[in-house]
């Protein structure tokens, strides 16, 4: 075998060896750097979430008539743009009326104002009052109007519960479907109606 051939074999082997070492070192050093960066980002996001998340929420309020409103939630997340607003999960509400009655409310989620106590219950909303059961997609509750609640002095609702969207009302021997159902916390009266006056409330009665 000539010296020229041996030299070519040696150079080829040397180039292959350098290429192998380079590739091995490059991936060995490069991969952990990317993973570390991703881990740092995830850690910051978790810290940010935990910082804004409050567990086992409990609030109590009452109106001028003496009705007591108790709100419980599994977790609450404060909105960054408004610290008075919270997004709640696994929500339960209870209103103890001065006449001895009671209204129980539950939902998957809710938007809650911890200053005015306005609450919008969202998804799988269930209301129980005496022998009445009401279900719907969304329920709005507001107690007394606060003096500084509306800076523009606009007329605001107060002491009312309003269930809307896919409302179904049931009590022994009677049930109906409607768009809106309201309970006045002062008079304790119940009002049911449709948004479109051309549509009629669907009601059914049951006889023993």
Which pLDDT tens digit goes with each residue over 84-116? 999 999 999 999 998 888 999 999 999 999 889
| pLDDT value at residue 8 | 61
Q: Provide the pLDDT confidence category of residue 4 given band limits of 50, 70 and 90.
A: low
Other CB atoms within 10 Å distance of the CB of residue 29: 9
Q: Provide the pLDDT confidence category of residue 34 given band limits of 50, 70 and 90.
A: very low
- Check if the beta carbon of residue 110 is closer than 8 Å to that of residue 120: yes
Structure tokens given for 204: 């059914």
Tell me, which fold does domain 54-205 have in CATH? Answer: lipopolysaccharide transport protein A fold (2.60.450)
Give 67: exposed, middle or buried? Use CB within 10 Å, 0-12, 13-18, 19+: buried
Give the CB-side neighbour count of residue 110, counting CA atoms within 13 A.
29
- Check if the beta carbon of residue 1 is closer than 8 Å to that of residue 10: no
Taking the model in full, what pTM does it have?
0.68
């Amino acid at each position: 075998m000539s010296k020229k051939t041996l030299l070519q074999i040696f150079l080829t082997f040397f180039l292959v060896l350098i290429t192998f070492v380079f590739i091995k070192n490059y991936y060995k050093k490069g991969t952990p750097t990317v993973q570390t960066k991703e881990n740092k980002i995830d850690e910051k996001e978790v810290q940010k979430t935990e910082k804004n998340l409050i567990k086992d929420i409990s609030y109590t309020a009452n109106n001028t008539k003496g009705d007591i409103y108790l709100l419980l939630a599994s977790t609450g997340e404060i909105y960054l743009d408004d610290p008075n607003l919270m997004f709640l999960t696994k929500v339960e509400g209870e209103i103890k009326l001065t006449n001895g009655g009671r209204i129980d409310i539950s939902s998957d989620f809710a938007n809650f104002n911890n200053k005015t106590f306005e609450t919008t219950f969202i998804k799988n909303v269930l209301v129980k009052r005496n022998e009445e059961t009401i279900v719907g997609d969304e329920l709005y509750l507001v107690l007394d109007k606060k003096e500084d609640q509306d800076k523009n002095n606009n007329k605001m609702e107060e002491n009312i519960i309003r269930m809307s969207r896919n409302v179904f009302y049931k009590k022994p021997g009677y049930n109906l479907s409607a768009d809106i159902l309201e309970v006045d916390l002062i008079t304790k009266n119940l009002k049911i109606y449709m948004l479109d006056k051309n549509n009629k409330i669907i009601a059914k009665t049951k006889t023993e």
